């Protein structure tokens, strides 16, 4: 996870809580609730000032007052905890202002950086190595079906896959077409696209299902998705699905939203 983004997201969430609870506390009834166990039930009292140790009994028909006082205690505690966490996160955010230790290599002079071994490979080098390593390993699979050029010399099996590849290229998302992936000792698949999630240093697999209105094709791919999930590659986490039918073509806007969410 990108630490700065995570901090900003959490701080926005806490800011909203502090604002909301501040408003709720202002309109809450005055006084504090006191709860006393009586046999197998509980009795509620309202203490209107700190010197009133006993408080005034709250009748059953006025249980809404007891709930409002208990809610106020909860709201105050949540408000205080959120405020405290915000102060701590503000200090942590300030610490990351100039980047964390992983990114320090990127701020070094190139002639000096090339002499050291960083704790984390810079993104550009990591992408370059990943693409080169995987390209060397891959052999053309069923080449007779590769009839569409994506404009960058990569032959693909459908026009929709060409469209997907162009979207990935436009977004600057590294990918390998039909890279073999071992799901188990006896099961290997070739996802349409193996995408590199640079931020989290992991691979995501994109399968395009182009004939979803064909019953046999549909059943075959439901099994394929199940095989992925048996291998710990779950839909919505490291597995992305796009689909179309003869009447409903590939939804490119939905694909871009999915990519934005996952990456």
pTM score, whole prediction: 0.64
Task: Please tell me the CATH code under which domain 138-262 is placed.
Answer: 3.40.1350
Q: Which residues pair with 240 in a beta bridge?
A: 206
Q: What DSSP designation does 58 have?
A: P
Q: Helices 63-95 & 3-27, crossing angle to 10 degrees?
A: 150
Q: How far apart are CA 206 and CA 242, in angstroms?
A: 7
Task: Give the pLDDT of residue 169.
Answer: 93
Task: Give the pLDDT of residue 52.
Answer: 85
DSSP string, 171-238: TT--EEET--EESSSS-EE--SEEEEETTTTEEEEEEEE--TT-HHHHHHHHHHHHHHHHTT--BTTT
DSSP string, 62-76: GHHHHHHHHHHHHHH
Tokens of 44: 């509620």
Long-range Cβ contact pairs of 67-70 (< 8 A, separation 24 or more): 68/28, 68/29, 69/28, 69/29, 69/31, 69/32, 69/33, 69/44, 70/33
Neighbours of 194 (CB within 10 A): 21
Q: How far apart are CA 243 and CA 259, in angstroms?
A: 14
47 touches 29 (CB < 8 A): no
3-state helix, strand, coil in the chain (%, to 5): 50, 15, 35
Choose among 199, 154, 149: nearest CA to 176: 154
Q: How far apart are CA 86 and CA 246, in angstroms?
A: 52
What 3-state class would DSSP assign to 113? helix
Parse the chain into domains and list their residue ranges. Answer: 3-97, 138-262
Q: Helices 159-170 & 252-262, crossing angle to 10 degrees?
A: 40
Task: Give the pLDDT of residue 140.
Answer: 60
Per-residue pLDDT of the chain (263 residues), as tens digits, is 567 888 999 999 999 999 999 999 999 999 999 999 989 999 999 999 888 888 999 999 999 999 999 999 999 999 999 999 999 999 988 887 767 787 788 788 989 988 998 888 888 888 998 988 877 655 666 677 788 999 888 899 899 999 999 999 999 999 999 999 999 888 899 999 999 998 889 999 999 998 888 889 999 999 999 999 999 999 989 999 999 988 899 999 999 998 888 87
Q: How far apart are CA 66 and CA 43, in angstroms?
A: 10
């Amino acid at each position: 996870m990108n630490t700065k983004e995570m901090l900003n997201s959490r701080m926005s969430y806490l800011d909203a809580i502090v604002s909301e609870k501040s408003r709720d506390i202002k309109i809450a009834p005055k006084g504090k609730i006191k709860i006393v166990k009586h046999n197998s039930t509980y009795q509620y009292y309202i203490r209107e000032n700190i010197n009133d140790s006993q408080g005034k009994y709250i009748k059953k028909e006025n249980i809404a007052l007891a709930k409002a006082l208990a809610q106020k205690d909860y709201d105050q505690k949540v408000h205080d905890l959120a405020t405290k966490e915000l102060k701590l996160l503000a200090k942590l955010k300030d610490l990351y202002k100039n980047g964390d230790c992983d990114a320090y290599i990127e701020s070094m002079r190139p002639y000096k950086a090339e002499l050291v071994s960083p704790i984390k490979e810079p993104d550009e080098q990591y992408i370059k190595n990943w693409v080169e390593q995987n390209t060397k390993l891959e052999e053309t699979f069923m080449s007779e079906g590769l009839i569409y050029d994506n404009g960058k010399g990569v032959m693909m099996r459908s026009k929709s896959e060409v469209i997907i590849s162009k979207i990935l290229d436009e977004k600057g998302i590294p990918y390998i077409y039909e890279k073999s992936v071992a799901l188990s000792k006896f099961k290997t698949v070739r996802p349409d696209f193996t995408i590199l999630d640079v931020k989290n240093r992991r691979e995501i697999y994109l399968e395009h299902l182009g004939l979803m209105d064909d019953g046999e094709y549909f059943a075959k791919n439901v099994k394929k998705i199940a095989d992925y999930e048996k291998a710990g590659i779950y839909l919505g986490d490291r597995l992305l699905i796009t689909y179309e039918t003869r009447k409903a073509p590939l939804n490119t806007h939905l694909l871009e939203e999915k990519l934005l969410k996952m990456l």
